[in-house]
Amino acid sequence: PWDHLMQAYKALVNSRRSSQSLGDLVSVITFDGSSNTRFTARSVEYAARQSFQPSQGGTNFIPALRSARDCIQSAPISHKPILLFMSDGGDDDDSAAEDEIAELASKCGHLGLQVHTIAFGRGADTGRLSGMANRARSSCGLGEFHQSIDGVQLIKKFKEIGSQCKTLQGLVTKIGEKIASAVTRKLILDHL
């Protein structure tokens, strides 16, 4: 599973690079029974050069979610945070992860937070990850659950999420263009 995750990570970062999203900032947190912040708010170029070794141990979502909240809250306000939370196992800590992600979403929702939870493989706790996405959606409006059985599906899902970012950027650009056009027309009419 780790090799598939690294392939999906590289595919996502490279798709963001090729779509001219070089202003993106990337943070990576890996987790098992604890979390490990590999880097915070670094460029897409930097992220593309990184690779990681798997952690060993149980699975506890809480430390990773708390680290994610810290990364999101310390990121520049100019960037819209997107959380991709992927696990190939279950959480050792009952339903506390759902409460934790709801708190994260309510504290960071004003930043435009999008939450994507991804269950990878047949052993992933789809119920927990789906519940986390539902709680994020009810707290900030943007929570989505995804399931990938194999590495091919995981790469496809990561790329799909990355392309949604591009779609959002295009929408913002179009809205900006429409506003600029309307202001220009108004100024011209006011001067006639």
| Residue 182: pLDDT band with limits 50, 70, 90 | low
Convert the pLDDT of each residue in 111-139 to its tens digit. 999 999 999 998 888 999 999 999 999 98
The beta strand positions in the chain, using DSSP E, are 25-31, 35-43, 82-87, 114-120, 143-148
Structure tokens at 5: 């995750």
Q: What is the pLDDT of residue 185?
A: 53
Convert the pLDDT of each residue in 65-84 to its tens digit. 999 999 999 998 888 899 99
157, 120 in Cβ contact below 8 A? no
Distance separating alpha carbons of residues 96 and 32, to the nearest angstrom: 16
Distance separating alpha carbons of residues 181 and 88, to the nearest angstrom: 48
pLDDT beyond 90 at 42: yes
What is the 8-class DSSP label of residue 141? S
143, 115 in Cβ contact below 8 A? yes
3-state secondary structure of 37: strand
